Amino acid sequence: MDHAFLDGFTVPLNDKPAHYARLLAALRPGLTEWALHPTLAGPNPAAPNDGWRVRRTDDDFLVSPGARRLTASSPRRRARHHGPRPPPAAGRLATGPRTAHTRLPSAPRCAAMMDHEQPRTTGRLTTMDLTLHCHWRDLNGPWALTVSHNGREWQLFAGTPVGSESLPFAGPDEVRRLAQALLDLPAEPEPYECEWQLSQTEVIHDKREFTHYATFAVGLDPSDGHRPYLAYQSYFHWGQTTALGLEVICEDPPVDDLRAQAHAFLTGLPGPARPQR
């Protein structure tokens, strides 16, 4: 660790979101470690001094749009974790050289690939034929972000060298909006970001709800010369615990290929959705 350790219990409650945001925006090159303690739990009459307000305000910041923008808007400032399922009480923030979750300087850039020798089709494409995908490889192995229909619903697949997961879109209009956002990626530097929230809730063995949710964004990074990016970050919530899941970030995706995929997708799945700028 290159800089001072920060624990969420040492940060003033009345200014915590703004305090975290200032610290995150000012991170210096190197490794900075924060220990945050997110929960959705409220006060416990049996233990009034259990620190629930500290934990609740940590959770509020971690899932806030401002935190997502700060961690996803720059390749030099990312929320990190080790492995696909980090401990719920701690997160790692790294600055400086890019690491496993971003394109390494010596590794190939992201490359959209056309379905890996998918059989040619004739006539009208079906829903099952339509995909949006970006696959790439770095020194750690293969990565992927893929939108496809599984026979029941549209889903986003996120793959890393150490694990993968899928989450459903709210409906076909959300997928059309994603395709339109890719088609509309500006050729010139300008503010541009579109974002989607995906979630899935199930009841686990002890009859508690287990929610898996994620944020997916397409945009141009204003802090890095308006470089295009695709960014996925998932979270898990069960009981009184919220934990980080997978992070998949593709910098410099092949915009022309993605636009071509988006055009074919919208032609095969027309609808009323409009882009959100």
Q: What are the pLDDT digits (tens) for 104-119?
A: 232 334 544 433 333 3
Predicted confidence band of residue 99 (pLDDT cuts 50, 70, 90): very low
Q: How far apart are the first and last CA of the chain?
A: 39
Specify whether the CB–CB gap between 230 and 243 falls below 8 A: no
Out of 89-93, 114-118, 132-136, 234-238, give the one with best mean pLDDT: 132-136
Determine the length of the chain. 277
User: Backbone phi, then psi, for 83, in 5-degree steps?
Assistant: 85, 170
* Alpha-carbon span 140 to 235, nearest angstrom: 22
The model's pLDDT over 184-216, given as tens digits with 9 standing for 90+, comes to 999 888 889 999 999 999 887 777 788 898 999
Q: Residues of the chain with pLDDT > 90: what percent? A: 31
pLDDT of residue 79: 45
DSSP one-letter string for the chain: --S--EEGGGS-GGGHHHHHHHHHHTPPSEEEEEE---------TT-TTS-HHHHHHHHHHHTSHHHHHHHHSBTTBEEE-SSSS--TT-EEEEESS--TTS--TTSPPPB---TTTPPP--SSPPGGG--EEEEEEETTEEEEEEEEE-SSSEEEEEEETTEEEEEE-S-HHHHHHHHHHHHT--SS---EEEEEEEEEEEE-TTS-EEEEEEEEEEEEEGGGTTEEEEEEEEEEEETTEEEEEEEEEEES--HHHHHHHHHHHHHHS--S-----
pLDDT of residue 130: 81
pLDDT of residue 34: 81
Predicted confidence band of residue 78 (pLDDT cuts 50, 70, 90): very low
pLDDT of residue 271: 66
pTM recorded for the entire structure: 0.59
Flag the least confident range among 152-156, 202-206, 256-260: 202-206
What is the pLDDT of the chain when averaged over all its residues?
75
pLDDT of residue 225: 83
Of 34, 55, 47, residue with least CA distance to 242: 55
Predicted confidence band of residue 129 (pLDDT cuts 50, 70, 90): low
Q: Residues of the chain with pLDDT > 70: what percent? A: 70
pLDDT of residue 210: 85
Specify whether the CB–CB gap between 78 and 92 falls below 8 A: no
Of 140, 139, 132, residue with least CA distance to 114: 132
pLDDT of residue 208: 77
The model's pLDDT over 130-153, given as tens digits with 9 standing for 90+, comes to 889 999 998 889 999 999 998 889
